[in-house]
Amino acid sequence: MSSAWGTAGNVYPSAHPLARHKLTLLRRKTTEPKKFRELVAELAMMLVYEATQDLPLHLEPIETPLTVTQGATMAAKIGLIPILRAGLGMVEGAWKLLPQAEVWHLGLYRDEKTLQPVAYYNKLPTEPTVQLCLILDPMLATGGSAIAAVDVLKNWGVSRIKFVGLIAAPEGITALHSVHPDVDIHVAAVDERLTTRDDPFPPGFIWPGLGDAGDRQFGTG
């Protein structure tokens, strides 16, 4: 599917060596919450950099101390949409790159038994105030939370939406693209699979993954 801003609906696992290095530190079970939060913020900045490479620009003359030349400034209003609570840790890094972005929080948690997303916070105004939304959530597991978030944003009136996460399961990518094929997915890595009832861990976790990104950031695990 194409749009005014290029081809949409692709999966972009980062090939950057720094992203792979930082993700390795993030996966390590001995990484403590303070370091974990720093890594989440740093990876978020790198992934948002990659996710924004097709943003439209407004061309305008700019006066340097020496002469006049052509400059380019951002032409689209951007919204950062962190999914509470694990997405909160990605805002800092994303905002460093996009200080003019609006931040609209969505509260969604995954019911531990049904794995279905439950919405609990949404203060979006009636009319959309941005043209591109970057959903920030470290994990794309079953895809239920991301689908629910995109549903909310499309109902709000935004048509250009990208998902920026740290890791994704193939099952979550398939689920999100089966409902919203136009949403680009930017992650540090696509992992092997989701855990099932046959695993010695709760079902629905990303494998090999990094555990629960919310618990590991906030020290609640």
Buried b (16+ CB within 10 A) or exposed e, 20-54: eebbebbbeeebeeeebbbbbbbbbbbbbbbbbee
State yes or no: residue 172 binds ligand PRP (CB under 6 A).
yes
State yes or no: residue 144 binds ligand PRP (CB under 6 A).
yes
Sole window of 34-42, 48-56, 79-87, 119-127 interacting with ligand PRP (rule: CB under 6 A): 79-87
160 tagged catalytic: no
Among residues 157 and 221, whose Cβ is nearest to ligand PRP? 221
Neighbours of 14 (CB within 10 A): 21
DSSP β-ladder status, 117-122 and 106-110? antiparallel
Q: Are 7 and 53 in contact (CB under 8 A)?
A: no
129 tagged catalytic: no
Sole window of 64-72, 153-161, 180-188, 209-217 interacting with ligand PRP (rule: CB under 6 A): 209-217
Element (H, E) at 216: helix 213-218
Binding residue for ligand PRP (CB under 6 A) from 95, 132, 137, 205?
137
List 21's β-bridge partners, or say none: none
State yes or no: residue 213 binds ligand PRP (CB under 6 A).
yes
State yes or no: residue 117 binds ligand PRP (CB under 6 A).
yes
Q: What is the set of active-site residues?
A: 110, 114, 212, 215
